[in-house]
Amino acid sequence: MSSYNKVLLMGNITRDVEVRYTPNTNTAIANLGLAVNRKWKDQSGQMKEEVTFVDVEAFGKTAENIAKFFGKGKPIFIEGRLKLDQWDDKNDGSKRSKLKVIAESFEFIGGDRSDAPATAPASRPATARPQQKPDDIDEDSIPF
């Protein structure tokens, strides 16, 4: 039987994005928290809200671009996969585990980019954009 592991989440970043680099390959690894809200009406018609907090990890250019363009409180759309980490607790030797999302891509949420970080590139009018991607630009480095 085949498997399918795909996660789509849209929410707000709960803390500043933490970035570290692997010692041998200098690959970026970003860790962030995401709050995803769910709203519904209960049987009495009263509005209810539930918040789920999700740990997200990204690698490479995806990690660098998330850290560059996003911070605490910013909305983001993440597409990725689930991963279960398992380890033995150093203190008591018990088995521990944590489910997290590995981000494979992301998108900006909303049309207003006026609050983007100062390092974000200025947008150009649609007529000024080239029709084809130049050969020397790595498509993975484009943040959206």
Q: Take residue 44 and report the two structure tokens written for it.
A: 């009495």
How far is residue 80's CA from residue 57's CA, in Å, rounded to a whole number? Answer: 9
Q: Take residue 100 and report the two structure tokens written for it.
A: 């997290």
Residue 114 confidence (pLDDT): 47
E strand map for 3-94: 7-13, 18-21, 28-41, 47-59, 75-88
Query: 36-76, pLDDT tens digit by residue?
Result: 999 999 999 999 999 999 999 999 999 999 999 999 999 99
pLDDT in tens, the chain (144 residues): 899 999 999 999 999 999 999 999 999 999 999 999 999 999 999 999 999 999 999 999 999 999 999 999 999 999 999 999 999 999 998 999 999 999 999 999 975 554 544 333 333 333 333 333 344 445 555 443
Residue 76 confidence (pLDDT): 97
- Kind of pairing between the strands at 95-108 and 47-59: parallel
| Selection from 10, 113, 108 nearest residue 54 by Cα | 10
| pTM greater than 0.95 (yes/no) | no
Residue 31 makes CB contacts below 8 A (sequence gap 6+) with 17, 18, 19, 55, 56, 57
Q: What is the set of domains in the chain, with CATH numbers?
A: 7-111 (2.40.50.140)
Check: CB of residue 70 under 8 Å from CB of residue 76.
yes
